[in-house]
């Protein structure tokens, strides 16, 4: 579940899936993205669709206001337990997820359970808050 908080309120979002399986999002009150300067995206991770939803939401916010401060609160960081390659041919899934999150250029990422120091070492200094 993904929620957006700004200006002391939760903003209304609409998420849906197109018939071809693609996800989409709409910020209902776009004027609040212009009015407020700082937002927190909260993600209670339920599955891989949430990753795409975060990317789409960040893009929608930045299309309205490029100078918005964005913070991600994601208590359980997806793929944190896949913090090393155990068998040749498998991905370093944590590195993939961190790259995706870093591409959003969040001002801060808050994680409650990093699982290991590998996660903390993958973020730029000062970005990750545990």
pLDDT surpassing 90 at residue 124:
no
pLDDT surpassing 90 at residue 114:
no
The pLDDT, as a whole number, for residue 33 is 94
**Whole-angstrom distance, CA of residue 76 vs CA of residue 44:** 7
> What percentage of residues in the chain have a pLDDT greater than 90?
92
**Whole-angstrom distance, CA of residue 69 vs CA of residue 61:** 10
- pTM of the prediction? 0.94
Element counts in the chain: helices (H) and strands (E): 4, 8
> How far is C-alpha 121 from the chain's CA centre?
18
The pLDDT, as a whole number, for residue 113 is 87
The pLDDT, as a whole number, for residue 125 is 85
Q: What is the mean pLDDT of residues 100-106?
A: 96
């Amino acid at each position: 579940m993904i929620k957006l908080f700004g200006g002391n309120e939760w903003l209304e979002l609409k998420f849906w899936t197109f018939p071809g399986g693609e996800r989409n999002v709409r910020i209902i009150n776009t004027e609040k993205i212009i009015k407020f300067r700082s937002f927190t995206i909260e993600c209670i991770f339920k599955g891989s669709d949430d990753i795409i939803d975060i990317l789409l939401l960040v893009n929608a916010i930045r299309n309205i206001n490029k100078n918005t401060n964005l913070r991600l609160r994601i208590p359980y960081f997806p793929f944190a337990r896949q913090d090393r390659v155990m068998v040749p041919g498998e991905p370093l899934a944590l590195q993939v997820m961190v790259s995706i999150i870093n591409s959003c250029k969040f001002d801060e990422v808050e994680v409650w359970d990093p699982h290991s120091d590998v996660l903390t070492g993958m973020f730029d200094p000062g970005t990750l808050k545990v």
